[in-house]
Amino acid sequence: MSPVFPTVREVLALVPVRHGAPRLVAGDAGLDRPVRWVHAAEVPDIATLLGGGELVLTTGIGLPADDAGLRAFIGDLADVGVSGLVVELGRRYVSGVPRVMAAAAERRGLPLVELRRAIPFVRITEAVHALIVDAQLTELRATEEIHQRFTELSVEGADAAEVVRQAADLSGCPVVLENLSRQVLAYDPAGQSAELLLERWEQHSRRIRPGGRTAYDPDSGWLVTTVGARGQDWGRLLLRWPAGGELTTGRALPADDGFESRAAPTGAVRTDAAPAGRTDGDRGGDVALAGRIAGPYAVGSGAPPTRLTILVERAASTLALGRLIRRDAEGLERQIHRTLLTALIDHSRPVDEVALRAKALGVPLDRRHLVGVVVRYRADEPVGEGAAPGVDAGPEAGPARLRDLAEAVGHALLEAKLTGLTSAVDDHAVGALLALPDPAAEEKALAAFAAALRRVRLDAAPARPPAPRSPVGGTFRPAAAGGPAAVIVAAGSSVSSLREAGRSLVEARQIAQAARRDRRDLLIFRLPHVGLAGLLHLLRDEPRVQTFVERELGALLAYHAQHPREQLLGTLRAYLESGRNKSAAAAAVHLSRPAFYERLARIGRILDVDLDSVDACLSLHVALLALDAVRRS
């Protein structure tokens, strides 16, 4: 039953009910049952007309006179699933309901309440029904707020971090966005400990296996939905429910709930005064969104409400759409350069149009030898005095560094007397499409460009003021003696047609990504400089590669997450890296051969593969290399 309905406990706290001086006689264990509707009846066979979830009101005048009949009456109500029974004293029962009725209700856990003062039942039904309708309206308003908020984020092209933050803000629950390899892309702990939330995340995430595209995993307490667009899934969005503590509700039962519990051990009588802030009638008016979508539910009350499912699905749609949208705040000419480079990469415009617009910019691309080049900082490049490696000094440091690098690339093209399109191609790299007169000029042109780029960067360093641009200027310091250059210059394969230029640019960007941790000080990185591990690093963000890893190693990774001390993953790695030489692998991991053979047999059973098969081991080895590339990105 939907948790938008009030509980019996909440109904007993309503002002009209308190005017009847309610007293709980039996069934206090069922006070948190939801009340779907209120039904007044004076016939003994009313259970046949009910559907469950009703709070039954009666004066008792039509109830059976014998004990067996009263037991059957209570049993029928309990069997049909009513929420509770309220009996008004005075007409049939004067001092209290029969003991046999109370005993039967207690046995079935059915709340049985006496009203010691007469009150028109219509006041109770009006108050409860108004509360139910108000809660349903709150549900509709919450759903509308969800759609409005995420529609705005989609239109604005909000990044993943902002979408996740808004989802956490609306729900009041921690939210995590991960890729298919269980790496966290963005998160918001919703005021809780981020360290605890993300501790051993991959192992924890692999235990979360709900059924369906959007589902709740009650064992882990996570609501999960798949993120992707156009048939390509690339991640999961997870919302933790319960999140701990009470959510914003406006419907919590006050400490002074205004009814006497005859079943309570203390027998204390509570006052009939309305709680602070209450006036008259029902309590529906104080149910408000208050900026939270989780609504009037205590955390830990079971499955999350439907509106939270709507929330995570809308957030996932916004994330999928946002991946297709990129905003740019560069100058008009640089925007055109970026538009043309992007069009060549993703084939979003006809090549004839790209050639025409490039020629209008003074960059002829027809009948030219084309080479894609990508320049990016190394992963551990310091960005300022005292800054930790790879950490920006402020929110503007990243974009400022990228702008400076784009300027340096443009100046290097001019100094090397080369023609081409140049612009940032993502948040970390600057691309250039060099247009050369003939293939023979390729190696000389690339060397001249790389040398000019180093000179431009070194010449720029002394001119940088210490503040406020010192974090950016810091990136232009020369490399330490004997160390690699601060930036990577990668070049793709040369092409003779503009239709193939996108392939050269994509290849250059992938090479630059793969070479980020290569400590060689090469002037130009080309495809032969990266091996299989490098190739897999280039493809680490490709969902199909991540799917391959999960298909090949998912069962072993899930087992490892539950039994990390058995080190089965390391055992498999040693076996494959030793060329399937079991003796050498056993020595490498310091195990006796019988123990090593037993581990291998267990791995084979978990993965359901023959580890003596060359083809199976080749697939597993490639999957391990891909897993390493994903984890080290």
361, containing H or E segment: none
Coil, helix or strand for 484?
coil
CA distance 359 to 12: 79
CA 218 to chain CA centroid, Å, is 17
**Which pLDDT score is estimated for 131?**
79
CA distance 323 to 238: 18
Cα-based torsion angle of the residue sequence 540, 542, 548, 553 in order, rounded to the nearest 10 degrees: 40
CA distance 259 to 9: 10
**Which pLDDT score is estimated for 114?**
93
Cα-based torsion angle of the residue sequence 372, 376, 378, 382 in order, rounded to the nearest 10 degrees: 160
CA distance 533 to 361: 40
CA distance 249 to 106: 30
Q: What is the mean pLDDT of residues 520-539?
A: 80
CA 358 to chain CA centroid, Å, is 41
Percent of the chain with pLDDT over 70: 78
pLDDT of 294-310, one tens digit each? 444 333 445 677 888 88
Q: What is the DSSP letter of 191?
A: T
Quote the crossing angle between the two packed helices 121-156 and 306-323, to the nearest 10°: 10
User: 330 or 133, which is more confident?
Assistant: 133
Least confident of 83-92, 285-294, 491-500: 285-294
Instruction: Name the band, by pLDDT with cuts 50, 70 and 90, for residue 15.
Output: confident
Residue 555 has pLDDT above 70, yes or no: yes
Q: What is the mean pLDDT of residues 344-360?
A: 82
**Which pLDDT score is estimated for 303?**
67
Cis, bond preceding 242 (omega within 30 deg of 0): yes
CA distance 465 to 439: 42
Least confident of 25-29, 102-106, 257-261: 257-261
Residue 339 has pLDDT above 60, yes or no: yes
Q: What is the mean pLDDT of the chain?
A: 78
CA distance 621 to 569: 11
**Which pLDDT score is estimated for 442?**
92
User: 291 or 131, which is more confident?
Assistant: 131
User: 631 or 2, which is more confident?
Assistant: 631
User: 143 or 575, which is more confident?
Assistant: 575
**Which pLDDT score is estimated for 482?**
42
Q: What is the mean pLDDT of residues 61-90?
A: 92
Instruction: Name the band, by pLDDT with cuts 50, 70 and 90, for residue 244.
Output: very low
**Which pLDDT score is estimated for 153?**
85
User: 615 or 326, which is more confident?
Assistant: 615
User: 277 or 30, which is more confident?
Assistant: 30
**Which pLDDT score is estimated for 275?**
34
Number of other residues whose CB lies within 10 A of the CB of residue 408: 23
Residue 597 · residue 574 · CB < 8 Å: no
**Which pLDDT score is estimated for 574?**
92
CA distance 325 to 239: 24
Percent of the chain with pLDDT over 90: 31
Residue 127 · residue 99 · CB < 8 Å: no
Which amino acid type is present at position 484?
A: P
Coil, helix or strand for 499?
helix
CA distance 567 to 598: 13
CA distance 433 to 162: 33
CA distance 218 to 544: 29
DSSP assignment of 88-115: ESSSS-SS---HHHHHHHHHHT--EEEE
The residue whose two tokens read 């979830």 is: 53
Q: What is the mean pLDDT of residues 495-524?
A: 85
pLDDT of 530-548, one tens digit each? 777 767 776 777 898 889 9
Instruction: Name the band, by pLDDT with cuts 50, 70 and 90, for residue 325.
Output: low
Coil, helix or strand for 516?
helix
Instruction: Name the band, by pLDDT with cuts 50, 70 and 90, for residue 157.
Output: confident
pLDDT of 161-173, one tens digit each? 899 999 999 889 9
**Which pLDDT score is estimated for 87?**
93
Tell me the torsion sign for CA atoms 353, 358, 364, 365.
negative
Helix spans in 324-396 (H) = 332-346, 351-360
628, containing H or E segment: helix 614-631
Q: What is the mean pLDDT of residues 30-56?
A: 87
User: 602 or 194, which is more confident?
Assistant: 602
**Which pLDDT score is estimated for 240?**
93
Q: What is the mean pLDDT of residues 491-511?
A: 89
**Which pLDDT score is estimated for 361?**
67
**Which pLDDT score is estimated for 261?**
54
User: 607 or 247, which is more confident?
Assistant: 607
**Which pLDDT score is estimated for 2?**
47
**Which pLDDT score is estimated for 260?**
54
Q: What is the mean pLDDT of residues 354-375?
A: 85
Q: Compute the C-alpha angle 310/313/315, nearest 5°.
A: 105
**Which pLDDT score is estimated for 156?**
76
Structure tokens at 433: 């499409």
Walk me through the domains of the chain, giving residue ranges and CATH numbers: 8-133 (3.40.1390.20), 157-244+303-321 (3.30.450.40), 349-379+402-458+486-534 (3.30.70.270), 543-631 (1.10.10.2840)
Least confident of 129-138, 390-399, 609-618: 390-399
Going edge to edge, which strands form the sheet with 369-377? 420-424, 429-436, 369-377, 487-491
Instruction: Name the band, by pLDDT with cuts 50, 70 and 90, for residue 434.
Output: very high
First-to-last alpha carbon distance for the chain, in angstroms, is 45
